[in-house]
Amino acid sequence: MPLSLIARQVTSCLILSLLAVPCFAQTTTTANYPTRALRLLIAYTPGGATDIVGRLLAQELSLQLGQTVVVENRAGGGTLLATEALRKAAPDGYTLLFGTNAFVITPLLHDTPTYDPVKDFEPIALTTIQPLGLLVAPQTQLNTTEKLIAYAKQHPDKINFASSGNGTAQHLAGEAFRVAANIDIMHVAYKGASPALIDLLAGRVDMMFTSLVGNMDHVKDGRLLLLATTGSKPTQATPTIPTVAQAGLTGFEAYTWQGVIAPGGTPAPITARLNSAVLKAAQAPKIVETLAAQGMEVKTSTPEEMRALWVNYTARYKTLLQRTKTNLQ
């Protein structure tokens, strides 16, 4: 065989081999995932309900994946800081977000485009759902929802309610309550649930719709009054506490969800691996028992079910925001 023909064949083989390397490397990387520590971003300050649950999940997720899952708090911008960090992260499964209702609410609050929750991200799995608790400072001496509403009607704008930030589920629950009860109450936004609760405990704000996770001891010790919960029925943790609907606002409901989210374009094998790990981690007895005692229910899902939830909640919040004329601008 002529040397020129041999050279051409060798060159062709080398080119084909080089072209195959990236595909082979990607397949190998995906198959071995994960090979190093992961980051779980939380868009809130330490100490709040999302932070508490996120850290519990991170511990169990580390066991399932065989790699450390490091929690990183990225509070700011009404959850935009953490969400934008995720959107810009490499879609390799090593940067995740422990998201909440605010993930779909925040884009609705801006006139200029921010991100599209459905198109720009990959859902991994829903982990929890829960009603909120209507917590009131004891100094108000308003120990029932009926008394709270009656006082607010007699004294417009005298009652204020705290939230973990503009556009959060806590904020919109308060707005929905204001509309349903036909009362004038003032919103006070904080940078996270933890500083809001500090002021609620100190009596500097009057009330707050928020998670019961981390707050049941305050209720038991009388530092806060739990007037009602926002589900369709009383929670397992608070069976004697009525719902807001039972207290007179028929049909009133407000739930929050939490779940794990990845950057858009994350390969399907990685999202499948993460979904399996999250489902097993969330069902760990330590998590199920701890959260049940705090009024939160573990509820997992497929990625497709989580995406459908985003679409559903986006429609719900658009309607509520139009009714309450809530906007960050």
Q: Residue 303, Cβ neighbours under 10 Å: how many?
A: 22
Could you tell me if residue 189 is inside a domain? yes
Could you tell me if residue 185 is inside a domain? yes
Could you tell me if residue 51 is inside a domain? yes
Q: Do 140 and 153 belong to one domain?
A: yes
CA distance 307 to 146: 38
Q: Are 314 and 104 in contact (CB under 8 A)?
A: yes
Q: What's the structural domain count of the chain?
A: 2
Query: Domain range holding 139?
Result: 133-229
Six token digits for residue 26: 């990607």
Q: Do 170 and 114 belong to one domain?
A: no
User: Please, is 129 exposed, middle or buried when counting C-beta atoms within 10 Å of its C-beta (0-12, 13-18, 19+)?
Assistant: middle
The H or E element that residue 75 is part of is none
Q: Do 114 and 139 belong to one domain?
A: no
**In 112-260, which residue ranges form alpha helices assigned H by DSSP?**
145-154, 169-181, 193-201, 216-220
Instruction: Give pLDDT tens digits along the chain (329 positions).
Output: 554 544 455 445 544 555 555 555 455 467 899 999 999 999 988 988 899 999 999 999 999 999 999 999 998 887 899 999 999 999 999 999 999 999 999 999 888 889 999 999 999 999 999 999 999 999 999 999 999 999 999 999 999 999 988 878 899 999 999 999 999 999 999 988 889 999 999 999 999 999 998 899 999 999 999 999 999 999 988 999 999 999 999 999 999 999 999 999 999 999 999 999 999 999 999 999 999 888 899 999 999 999 999 999 999 888 888 877 654 44
Could you tell me if residue 138 is inside a domain? yes
Q: Do 119 and 138 belong to one domain?
A: no
Say how many residues make up the chain.
Answer: 329
